[in-house]
């Protein structure tokens, strides 16, 4: 997994904005995974009892792919349109121990 960028984004969304936020997030994730070879995985989940608490597991091929992602039109649109929806954002860099998917 050497060189890969892995992180979790912890977000708190304004409760009245959950549905529009989710729509914008889904659009951004689809565009990123479909169009950016360096975006290896984006998984978004929300707590069942607190749907305003969103977590995104992000995996990028390397630092260059992550930096390119930040400059894409779809990511910039997502950031601009969700700026007032997000109450808090915390990015946590991770050291992958074991990751598998089927």
What is the tens place of the pLDDT at every residue in 15-47?
Answer: 999 999 999 999 999 999 999 999 999 999 999
98 in a domain, yes or no?
Answer: no
Cβ atoms 28, 77 nearer than 8 A: yes
45 in a domain, yes or no?
Answer: yes
Which CATH number fits the domain that encloses residue 73?
A: 3.30.70.100
9 in a domain, yes or no?
Answer: yes
Residue identified by tokens 């990015």 is 91
Q: How far is the C-alpha of 47 from the C-alpha of 4, rounded, in Å?
A: 27
100 in a domain, yes or no?
Answer: no
Give helix 73-82 / helix 18-35 axis angle, nearest 10°: 170
**Overall domain count for the chain:** 1
Residue 1 has pLDDT above 80, yes or no: no
Residue identified by tokens 């997030």 is 25
Reported as a single tens digit per residue, the pLDDT across 57-77 is 999 999 999 999 999 999 999
State which residues form the domain around 85: 5-93
46 in a domain, yes or no?
Answer: yes
Exposed / middle / buried, residue 100 (Cβ in 10 Å: 0-12, 13-18, 19+): exposed
The pLDDT-based confidence of 2 (bands split at 50, 70, 90) is low
Cβ atoms 69, 39 nearer than 8 A: yes
């Amino acid at each position: 997994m050497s060189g890969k960028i892995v992180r979790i984004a912890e977000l708190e969304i304004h409760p009245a904005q959950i549905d529009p936020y989710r729509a914008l997030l889904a659009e951004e994730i689809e565009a990123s995974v479909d169009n950016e070879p360096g975006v290896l995985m984006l998984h978004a989940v929300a707590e069942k009892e607190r749907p305003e608490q969103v977590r995104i597991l992000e995996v990028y091929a390397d630092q260059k792919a992550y930096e390119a992602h930040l400059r894409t039109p779809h990511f910039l649109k997502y950031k601009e349109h969700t700026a007032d929806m997000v109450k808090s954002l915390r990015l946590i860099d991770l050291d992958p121990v074991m990751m598998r998917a089927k």
